[in-house]
Amino acid sequence: MDLPRGPGRGAVVVAAALWVGALAGAHFSVSSTALAAGAVALVAFFFRTWVTVLLVVVAVGLVSGAGSAHRDQEVHHTAIVEGSGVVAGVAATDSLPYGPGYRFVLRPMEWRRTGRAAFEWIGPRIAIDTSRDDVVAGDSVVVVGLLRAKTGYVRGDPVAGRMTASELTVVEAAGSPLLAAGNWLRARVQARMSVLDRVPAAALLSGFLIGDVADLPAGDVEALRRSGLTHYVAVSGSNVALVLGAWWLVMTPLRMGTRLRAVTGLVLLAVFVVATRWESSVIRAATMAGLVLGCRAVGWPLDAWTALGAAVSLLLAISGGLAYDVGFQLSVLATAGVLVGMRLWRNKSPRVFWAPLAATVGAQLAVVPVLLVHFGTVPLFSPVANLLAAPLVTLATTLGGFGVVVGWDLPLQLGATVAAGVLQIARIAGEWPQLGPLAVATAGIGAGLSWQTALRAPLVAGIAAVLVLGSLPPGPPALPTVTFLDVGQGDSVLIQDPSGAVALVDGGHDPGVLRGALRRYGINRIDLLIASHGDLDHVGGLAGLAESMEVGRFWLPTGHALSAALGDLKAGLEAAGVAVEEVGTGSRARLGEFAFTVLGPQRRYAADNDGSVVLLVDTAGKSVLLPGDIGEIAQRELPPLAPDILLVPHHGAATTDLEWLEETVGAVAVVSVGINNYGHPHPSVMATLQRAGAMVRVTAEMGDVVVPLGS
């Protein structure tokens, strides 16, 4: 194997030590970090070996990690001047879809409350909610609206407040030449993609070129993840190599010297980083390529391992927060895996087959720990999917890039056609088996035991068979079963009949989380889909559902205006040929052994939450009440009920009538909730449930709550 040697080994060891320090530093206060770094430096003073270097490097990592964490905390702890007014500043991100509108991050420069004089305010970053989709990073904007102190993160950026814009004016485009050039390149790609009519293949092609997959359906995003192909839209090393390769071809006729080509290449890399919106993976790849170019310009050879170690060390020293960035972790480990894998089957022929397979296997094995930690599963046959997709991705990216540069539609159309092939591979491979931690550990132990034995082949075959069979999704349950899915801060209830019939009530807020939950239970068709109401934490996860599985019928509440999310969901399902029905009191359906009765909404309510579909589900002498987010008014208008299982309304919010709750709750109460800033579930609600003697199950604590019914 091609393990690092010489300077490469030292660079990798230094990078690893920095990484350890940065991970630890993120959990220390600034003063604790200073003491720890001082102690490390003092110990290092007494050693004159590699130990000294490593201890100093760890100290640098501690400082960098603590500094990044402190900067985030500082933003969250900065006071915000709340109220209606006008804020001027510079957009730190593009406006991206968020709920019914768009959201971007603003660096404030000036603030004026209504009726008061303006004053300079170099304040913490704030999130701006707007209806405009044309704000670009670097734009100078003026926003009129209501500012509230509300901490959080927007695509990894900490924010101290949120402002809902009633008016927004772009005063001036980005002034920095680098930012302006990167924005122009990004806008050029997006404009050229418009000739392809926003089809999924065009969105994927945009992802190959600049990492922009905003228009890619949620189901296809999940298919890319499950097939192990997501890295192709997380712009990284292969994209940087293609950009530089194309640049060398352009520069060759000009007979530029090595240094001038290196300098122009560095400028192009900087523009490309801006165009791809400085994703951590492309920053890693560009830094690594930049070091190689810079060293080549001064006549210093730099091998791949040294370049990787130096790039990682430099970036972690500057921003220790990257140590926890998933994209950065995957990019670094995948690159190391490729370098090792390239030597795996170096003597096998034909090289055109074995070299890419070895690189793919190496990369996939290297990222397994990160995938398990962050996503819980790894695709078993990801190397196969990558081997099939890799040449298509390269061809699509080349055709798309050429079409963007020269302005021809034909290369773009051909590129989109090839990208459609990649998408089809992802959709097919996304249904292949996934391995959890136990299966991966079993495979690793089995591989180790079989490596030096004559029974290697049958052992490997047996382990592979067990893994495949063990990763197959389960069939229908033996009893009618209701499962309250853990979808974070939101609701989603899966109802399964032994016949195989399936109903789904709501879907949480994240399509990826919902798709993962449905796959755990082997769901590939939904006979009855129900949206209780239009809030994102109930219907956001249902976006694109009909693109990944068959849906029979769709129910939504009658008597209320549709939210943007629910309207889009309805339109998408209708376009897919799904029967759509607005339901209210008295609507009924039967699914296998389950009977569904709609108890509400009984009328039109002022509050959208009170207009939720209230569903009573009966089977085998047991009943389940699913009341959506109804509050006190709608609760009082329901008939007397005594369900065996109650989904506590509105995630246990204080909007519930406690007397109604105590009278209604049965043997089991389920609170579907995740980490939130709303105070859900409210202490008064939990106290009422305990006083009523109900067995309380909270999804945030228990995960999926599975309730078999019948006997």
Q: Mind listing the pLDDT tens digit for each residue in 569-590?
A: 999 999 889 999 999 999 999 9
d(CA 113, CA 695): 50
> Which pLDDT score is estimated for 586?
92
Q: Would you say residue 694 has pLDDT above 90?
A: yes
Structure letter (DSSP) for residue 504: E
The helix (H) or strand (E) run that includes residue 589 is strand 588-591
Please tell me the least confidently modeled range out of 38-52, 190-204, 225-239, 310-324. 38-52
* Strand 550-557 relative to strand 525-530, pairing: parallel
Amino acid at 133: D
d(CA 595, CA 599): 13
Q: Report pLDDT digits (tens) over 639-689.
A: 999 999 999 999 999 999 999 999 999 999 999 998 877 889 999 999 999
The contacts of residue 454 (CB under 8 Å, 6+ apart) are none
Please tell me the least confidently modeled range out of 11-25, 134-148, 212-226. 212-226
Contact 285, 240 (CB under 8 A): yes
Q: Which residue has the higher pLDDT, 295 or 128?
A: 128
Contact 525, 502 (CB under 8 A): yes
Bond before 601 cis per omega within 30 degrees: yes
Cβ-in-10-Å burial (0-12, 13-18, 19+) of 149 comes to middle
> Which pLDDT score is estimated for 4?
62
Highest-confidence segment of 44-58, 287-301, 329-343, 566-580:
566-580
Tokens of 575: 């376009």
Dihedral of alpha carbons 133, 137, 139, 142, sign: positive
Nearest-CA neighbor of 648 among 632, 627, 663? 627
d(CA 163, CA 168): 11
pLDDT band for position 130 (cuts 50, 70, 90): very high
Q: Would you say residue 464 has pLDDT above 70?
A: no
Rounded to an integer, the average pLDDT of 129-139 is: 92
Dihedral of alpha carbons 526, 531, 536, 537, sign: negative
Count the neighbouring beta carbons within 10 Å of the beta carbon of residue 490. 27
Task: Write out the DSSP string of 64-123.
Answer: HHHHHHHHHHHHHHS----EEEEEEEEESS--EEETTEEEEEEEEEEEEETTS--EE---
Q: Which residue has the higher pLDDT, 611 or 99?
A: 611
Q: Report pLDDT digits (tens) over 617-637.
A: 999 889 999 999 999 999 999
Nearest-CA neighbor of 668 among 638, 650, 647? 647
Rounded to an integer, the average pLDDT of 132-154 is: 90
d(CA 302, CA 289): 10
> Which pLDDT score is estimated for 99?
62
d(CA 647, CA 372): 31
Q: How far is CA 122 from CA 68, 555, 622, in A?
A: 19, 49, 60
Please tell me the least confidently modeled range out of 39-43, 163-167, 539-543, 640-644. 39-43
Task: Write out the DSSP string of 125-160.
Answer: -EEEEES-----TT-EEEEEEEEEEEEEEETTEEEE
Contact 358, 387 (CB under 8 A): no
The helix (H) or strand (E) run that includes residue 388 is helix 382-406
| Helix runs in 576-664, H state only | 632-636, 658-664
Q: Would you say residue 424 has pLDDT above 70?
A: yes
Structure letter (DSSP) for residue 149: E
Backbone angles phi, psi at 625, to 5 degrees: -105, 125
Tokens of 671: 């609170």
Tokens of 92: 């730190």
Q: Would you say residue 529 has pLDDT above 90?
A: yes
Rounded to an integer, the average pLDDT of 308-323 is: 92
pLDDT band for position 378 (cuts 50, 70, 90): confident
Q: Would you say residue 245 has pLDDT above 60?
A: yes
Contact 614, 627 (CB under 8 A): yes
> Which pLDDT score is estimated for 619?
93
pLDDT band for position 612 (cuts 50, 70, 90): very high
Rounded to an integer, the average pLDDT of 683-697 is: 94
pLDDT band for position 1 (cuts 50, 70, 90): very low
Tokens of 40: 């490390």
In whole numbers, what is the pLDDT of the chain averaged over residues?
A: 85
Rounded to an integer, the average pLDDT of 537-553 is: 90
Map 345-378 to HEC letters. CCCCCCHHHHHHHHHHHHHHHHHHHHHHHHHCCE
Q: How far is CA 126 from CA 80, 274, 343, 390, 619, in A?
A: 9, 21, 48, 40, 50
pLDDT band for position 35 (cuts 50, 70, 90): low
